[in-house]
Structure 1
Amino acid sequence: MRVFGVDPGLTRCGFGVVDSGRGRTVAPVAVDVIRTPPEMELSQRLLRISNAAEEWLDLYKPTVLAVERVFSQHNVRTAMGTAQAGGVVALAAARRGIDVCFHTPSQVKSAVAGNGAADKKQVTAMVTKILGLAVAPKPADAADALAIAICHCWRAPMLSRMAQAEQAAAEQKRRYEARLAELNKTRLKKAGTP
């Protein structure tokens, strides 16, 4: 599976692509940070991020796009920009029929560093170690994008099994309710009620 991880942001949007292998092995493919100047008009900043995302999607052909979910931030304006940046990348993937998954910051930190409250230094150190990189990816947005991709590689099998279990449970419930309705119908007939 090839995963394109995105750490969304307007000023710095981290992009990272990894390939997953057997078990928990993960190999780096590419990493970069897309920058847009704060003085640029919002629509132009989003267009720059969208264009870069489309180039990466076409160049690296990921199986899935993993985006960090905007959880909560004190600055509403920053949160909006972050969400918009993630949205244009997700839209570019969706247009190509590529699955899009969102992971919260604590899920990413927990998967990569073993602690949902890990700081950026810990995440960067673990990404560097997991991918066997000689040099830590910089800035932190680059390391975060790789962390998001790694998180998805490791969480995807569990998420898939959970979805299959939920589907099987829903089917079992549907069959049970149909059987119950049939039994009730039979009881009513035996009791002489039309």
Structure 2
Amino acid sequence: MNSSPLVNVDAEALKIEIDLIYAGADNLAGKPIYKDARCLLHRDAEICLRLASRLAHQAGLSLRVFDAYRPPYAQLLLWEALPNPEYVRDPKLGSHHSRGVAVDLTLLDGEGQPLDMGTGFDDMREQSHQFFPDLPPAVQRNRLLLLGIMLGAGFQHIASEWWHYELPDAENYPLIDDHSIRPARD
């Protein structure tokens, strides 16, 4: 019997795209981190993601997920690449991704093109902060639209990354070390 609280995120059932950035080399670590690109979330977060997808579709949009559950070894690799607690949580504290309750994502338009959010995913600069003021109004609207969808679905935001959402009281969820997600080899 599987006692893990993690469930597979079914892109087809949720009508979302999954593009796990850390399964490839184009990420802040500059190398693949995940050997296999399975998108997992805690059951509670997956339920909220389902609602977020429905809300996005009501607006004629859809979601693209960049990252979800992140094994502790992956958090350590990201910390080694960017040991800045404003953007990467110290693995000693435990990432909310490693609890399965955080998701990184963006919005896609009706043609499947990403909305302009002013920066790319994992762009670790002040311009990526949720409410950075010096961005065009269209970018501000897109970020606020994503924010509204995710808040409406039960997630909360963090100040430093427009793409990161997590369940409230994320600290109350235990860290999960799912050994079925293996590191990519250099």
Higher helix content, 1 or 2: 1
**TM tier relative to shorter chain:** under 0.3
TM-score normalised by L of structure 2: 0.28
TM-score normalised by L of structure 1: 0.27
Larger radius of gyration: 1
